[in-house]
């Protein structure tokens, strides 16, 4: 079975990243709508920071996979 090239991994990864960000934003919006009204501003700031940056940790392995060099580029 031939290995995927870095170019094809980047194409697939780009679509997966965009899709995961869309899903993450939908989830964050749903959670925000479940929050009770009248929360202090500091609590909301913490929520929005977590919601805004929360997609980064799950995306890191995908980005690492996308950046992996082709097998032909690895020196043996």
The residue range of the domain holding 28 is 7-67
Mean pLDDT of 17-22: 95
Would residue 45 count as lying in a domain? yes
Q: So what's the pLDDT on residue 60?
A: 95
Mind listing the pLDDT tens digit for each residue in 22-39?
Answer: 999 999 999 999 999 999
Q: So what's the pLDDT on residue 3?
A: 79
Look up residue 22 and give its two tokens: 């869309």
Q: How many domains does the chain have?
A: 1
- Confirm if 28 and 51 have CB atoms less than 8 A apart: yes
Question: Is-above-0.85 flag for pTM?
Answer: no
Would residue 72 count as lying in a domain? no
Mean pLDDT of 28-52: 96
- What separation in angstroms does the CA of 57 have from each of 4, 44, 48, 64? 24, 21, 16, 11
Would residue 36 count as lying in a domain? yes
Would residue 1 count as lying in a domain? no
Would residue 59 count as lying in a domain? yes
């Amino acid at each position: 079975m031939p290995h995927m090239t870095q170019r094809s991994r980047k194409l697939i990864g780009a679509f997966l990243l965009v899709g995961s960000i869309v899903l993450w934003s939908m989830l964050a919006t749903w959670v925000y709508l479940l929050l009770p009204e009248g929360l202090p501003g500091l609590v909301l700031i913490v929520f929005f920071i977590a919601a805004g940056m929360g997609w980064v940790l799950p995306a890191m392995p995908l980005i690492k996979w996308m950046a992996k060099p082709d097998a032909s580029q690895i020196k043996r």
